[in-house]
Chains A and B, each alone.
Chain A
Amino acid sequence: MANTQDIADVDRSLYDFRDDESDFYRLDEGLTEEIVSRISDEKHDPDWMREFRLKSLRLYEQIPVPNWGPPVDGLDMDHIATYVRANTGMKGTWEEVPDDIKNTFEKLGIPQAERESLAGVGAQYDSELVYHNVRQEVADQGVVYTDLESALTGEYAEMVREHFMKLVPPTDHKFAALHGAVWSGGSFVYVPKGVTVEIPLQSYFRLNARGAGQFEHTLIIVDEGADLHFIEGCSAPKYNVANLHAGCVELYVGRNARLRYSTIENWSKNMYNLNTKRALVEEGATMEWVSGSFGSHTSYLYPTTILKGDNSHCEFTGITFAGAGQNLDTGARMVHLGKNTSSYINSKSISKSGGISTYRSSIEVAKTASGAKSSVSCGSLMLDSESRSDTIPAMDIRTADADIGHEAKIGRIGDDAVFYLMSRGISEEEARAMIVSGFANPVSKELPLEYAAEMNNLIRLEMEGM
């Protein structure tokens, strides 16, 4: 590894350590049929998956780069390694995980969180899962939580095949096609009818390799009347070459079921985060997204919810923090198909030191969706005059009786509010951090306590040296 090429970041030591990859298996950089076939070989893909990958690759070559969002010119696919794995298989106990990798996850606090507050954990390191475990009592309820590769050939192979990239087909956009070609790792969750998983499951994605891509696929099926909270965390150390994350999340929420999907994303600031997340919600079911985006160089992230069943409901709560050099384009999309469906978006974005933060959303109410309700509330806070914040809300309403509300606020931190807090003995830096944390509070209070604390730490980290 050429250390001279690495650049130091501000104090992000919690996330910004990297491990040596000398002992790793790494496919050549770039994207060719040969490389995609070798990924299939590596992973012992079933035939249908092998074909699926090659078909996706051809789509990837045909579909143009999106021209409506932040620039992605810095991303040169000829220099992204699509597949890197440590020389270890997936383990069921932390003791078996090689020390350097285990230490990485220890530093990120994953095993401790698992002991204290999680029902199951999957930990992915570069392209492959290195650890997967679910508590016995949860497994006894019939809950399946495993890596996607095992699921492809195991007991649930048919279910996986039926659902894999059906919500997000490779034809959707260029990076969905890329994902279809080179996906690796990720989790499969199945919660049987009527089962409530009392404490959350968590997958943590760590991309250690320099100039590499991570393309994990998360497939969650929550059956009728079941209830699950799934948490996704991601981070990476910083390099001065582009890294790419083009993951895909597909969520199926059955009748009267509830799924909460929480994400704290803290990729390093050389990461292109072109992630696609989508949920299909059946009758009477509830989908809840909680999303914190702090890292990455460039993000395109708009979790989509298809409210297919009558009386289905979705809530999206998100916060985005764009600092120096970051261009984060985030938001949500709600598609109302069923009758009396409702959606609620509460989004907050913060930009500082020249960062660009764009809120982009789309509310679509189909002719079939009589009685639909939707409410959007988005707030932006710019911490200085070099930063930028944009709001791009779109609406396409095809019914006469839809009840649609939209409220947008864009503001700056007022010097008068800072002075007010300072007059009570609070330092300027602390006063600004308190105002920003307060602004983020409607989101952080939706997170489990330890993640709310992590989010506040991230805000403080970002606010240092203002």
Chain B
Amino acid sequence: MSEPLLQIRNLCASIEEGELLHNINLEIRPGETHVLMGPNGAGKSTLGNTIMGSPVYKVTGGSIFFDGQDITDLSADKRAAAGLFMSFQNPLEVPGLSMESFLRNAIRQRTGKPIKILTFKRELEETMKLLQMDESYAERDLNVGFSGGEKKKAEILQLLMLRPRLAILDETDSGLDVDAVRTVSMGIEEYQKKRGGALLVITHSTRILDSLDVDYTHVLVRGQIVRTGDASLVKEINEGGFERYANEKEA
């Protein structure tokens, strides 16, 4: 078995009001797809954001290693440079900053290398086509006036353009209609199957999982991982809901 890409040990995270994550342990190896499920308010997004380095959450215990490097105290941009990515549940709007110029800047800063404009343009065009995005979106201000579905497509566009090694998808399928889920899933498949990218998929529905090969499923309840299993656990939850795990202690 290969070395873990992401290794979380006894992670605790807090906000001022109290601790939200308790002793989380999680390992993701290159190319693996993990699903994180759980009821509303269980701490799924908190875990995703803490892994990405959100300043909102303070790590009060434990550590996060990525590719053998301790990233527990690194800022989000350094984590991104190491190969982490997160598709946001609510992508932010940045008026006056075009999607294309943003992506160019991000790639240049992440890689520290100048960009070959023509190659970049071609890749952007092809990726947008795959995601059925109108090419005018490249010129539009980042996420400004985008519908819910367009915002999520734009997140997956960034995922494909930035080429991370591990992507956290935070509720990427929520609020999307059937067609949009299909399109977004195509983008994620491209990342997972053609490029061998690893995934941590946070979801409380399962539509987005239909087209993905799931390796592990984790159930998060009240800030703790209470159950870990394989893909079949998804089906089990679909049929029985989360209640039965509500009183389980750490697995």
Using a CB–CB cutoff of 8 Å, the interface residues on chain A facing chain B are 414-417, 419-428, 430-431, 434-435, 437-442
- In the complex the two chains form, what is the Cα distance from A431 to B109 in whole Å? 11
- In the complex the two chains form, what is the Cα distance from A182 to B21 in whole Å? 70
- Using an 8 Å CB-CB cutoff, how does the interface string of B6-37 with A read, 1 for contact, 0 for none? 00000000000000000000000000000000
Assess the B55–A415 pair: CB atoms within 8 A: yes
With contacts A422-B80, A423-B80, A434-B97 taken as known, whether A428 is within 8 angstroms of B92 at the C-beta atoms is no
How close is A409's CB to chain B, nearest CB, in angstroms?
A: 10
Assess the A424–B92 pair: CB atoms within 8 A: no
How close is B88's CB to chain A, nearest CB, in angstroms?
A: 6
- In the complex the two chains form, what is the Cα distance from A321 to B97 in whole Å? 19
Assess the A435–B97 pair: CB atoms within 8 A: yes
- In the complex the two chains form, what is the Cα distance from A67 to B75 in whole Å? 48
How close is A172's CB to chain B, nearest CB, in angstroms?
A: 36
Assess the B92–A417 pair: CB atoms within 8 A: yes
- In the complex the two chains form, what is the Cα distance from A421 to B81 in whole Å? 12
Which 8 pairs show the lowest CB-CB distances between chains A and B? A438-B96, A425-B110, A441-B96, A425-B80, A438-B97, A422-B76, A424-B106, A420-B92
With contacts A415-B55, A419-B54, A420-B88 taken as known, whether A425 is within 8 angstroms of B95 at the C-beta atoms is no
Inside 8 A of B109's CB, which chain A residues have their CB? 425-427, 430
With contacts A414-B92, A425-B162, A430-B109 taken as known, whether A438 is within 8 angstroms of B141 at the C-beta atoms is yes
- In the complex the two chains form, what is the Cα distance from A303 to B93 in whole Å? 32
How close is B71's CB to chain A, nearest CB, in angstroms?
A: 13
Taking CB as reference atom, which chain A residue is nearest B107?
A425
Inside 8 A of B141's CB, which chain A residues have their CB? 438
Residue with the greatest number of chain A CB neighbours at <10 A, chosen from B54, B88, B106: B106
How close is B105's CB to chain A, nearest CB, in angstroms?
A: 6
Inside 8 A of A422's CB, which chain B residues have their CB? 53, 75-77, 80
- In the complex the two chains form, what is the Cα distance from A441 to B52 in whole Å? 29
With contacts A425-B80, A426-B77 taken as known, whether A438 is within 8 angstroms of B95 at the C-beta atoms is yes
How close is B49's CB to chain A, nearest CB, in angstroms?
A: 8
Taking CB as reference atom, which chain B residue is nearest A379?
B95
Taking CB as reference atom, which chain B residue is nearest A431?
B77
Inside 8 A of A428's CB, which chain B residues have their CB? 75, 77
Assess the A423–B91 pair: CB atoms within 8 A: no
Sampled A-B contacts (16; CB under 8 Å): A415-B56, A420-B92, A420-B94, A421-B94, A423-B80, A424-B80, A424-B85, A425-B106, A425-B107, A425-B162, A427-B109, A428-B75, A438-B94, A438-B97, A440-B96, A441-B96
How close is A47's CB to chain B, nearest CB, in angstroms?
A: 54
Residue with the greatest number of chain A CB neighbours at <10 A, chosen from B75, B85, B97, B110: B97
With contacts A415-B55, A430-B109, A438-B141 taken as known, whether A423 is within 8 angstroms of B85 at the C-beta atoms is yes
Assess the B77–A434 pair: CB atoms within 8 A: no
Assess the A424–B110 pair: CB atoms within 8 A: yes
- In the complex the two chains form, what is the Cα distance from A423 to B95 in whole Å? 18
Assess the A427–B96 pair: CB atoms within 8 A: no
- In the complex the two chains form, what is the Cα distance from A416 to B90 in whole Å? 10
Inside 8 A of A426's CB, which chain B residues have their CB? 77, 80, 105-106, 109-110
Inside 8 A of B56's CB, which chain A residues have their CB? 415-416, 419
Taking CB as reference atom, which chain B residue is nearest A436?
B96
Inside 8 A of A424's CB, which chain B residues have their CB? 77, 80, 85, 102, 106, 110, 158, 162
Taking CB as reference atom, which chain B residue is nearest A430?
B109
* Size category, B interface: 20 to 34
- B86 touches A (CB below 8 Å): yes
Inside 8 A of A427's CB, which chain B residues have their CB? 77, 109
- In the complex the two chains form, what is the Cα distance from A435 to B142 in whole Å? 11
How close is B53's CB to chain A, nearest CB, in angstroms?
A: 7
Assess the A425–B77 pair: CB atoms within 8 A: yes
How close is A199's CB to chain B, nearest CB, in angstroms?
A: 27
How close is B84's CB to chain A, nearest CB, in angstroms?
A: 8
How close is B43's CB to chain A, nearest CB, in angstroms?
A: 18
Inside 8 A of B80's CB, which chain A residues have their CB? 422-426
Assess the B77–A416 pair: CB atoms within 8 A: no
Assess the A420–B91 pair: CB atoms within 8 A: yes
How close is B182's CB to chain A, nearest CB, in angstroms?
A: 25
- In the complex the two chains form, what is the Cα distance from A434 to B103 in whole Å? 12
Q: Can you name 18 extra interface pairs (CB under 8 A) apart from A421-B106, A423-B76?
A: A415-B55, A419-B76, A420-B88, A420-B94, A421-B94, A422-B53, A423-B52, A423-B53, A423-B79, A424-B110, A426-B77, A427-B109, A430-B105, A434-B97, A437-B97, A438-B95, A438-B141, A441-B97
Assess the A442–B96 pair: CB atoms within 8 A: yes
- In the complex the two chains form, what is the Cα distance from A28 to B58 in whole Å? 63
How close is A323's CB to chain B, nearest CB, in angstroms?
A: 20
How close is B61's CB to chain A, nearest CB, in angstroms?
A: 22
- In the complex the two chains form, what is the Cα distance from A325 to B107 in whole Å? 37
How close is B52's CB to chain A, nearest CB, in angstroms?
A: 5
Inside 8 A of A420's CB, which chain B residues have their CB? 88, 91-92, 94
How close is A419's CB to chain B, nearest CB, in angstroms?
A: 6
Assess the A417–B86 pair: CB atoms within 8 A: no
With contacts A423-B53, A423-B85, A425-B162 taken as known, whether A434 is within 8 angstroms of B75 at the C-beta atoms is no
- In the complex the two chains form, what is the Cα distance from A438 to B102 in whole Å? 10
Q: Which residues of B124-174 have CB atoms within 8 Å of chain A's CB atoms?
A: 141, 158, 162
Residue with the greatest number of chain A CB neighbours at <10 A, chosen from B54, B77, B107, B141: B77
| Residue from B53, B85, B96 in contact with A439 in the complex, judged by beta carbons closer than 8 Å | B96
Inside 8 A of B52's CB, which chain A residues have their CB? 423
- In the complex the two chains form, what is the Cα distance from A420 to B97 in whole Å? 13
- In the complex the two chains form, what is the Cα distance from A439 to B141 in whole Å? 11
Assess the A434–B102 pair: CB atoms within 8 A: yes
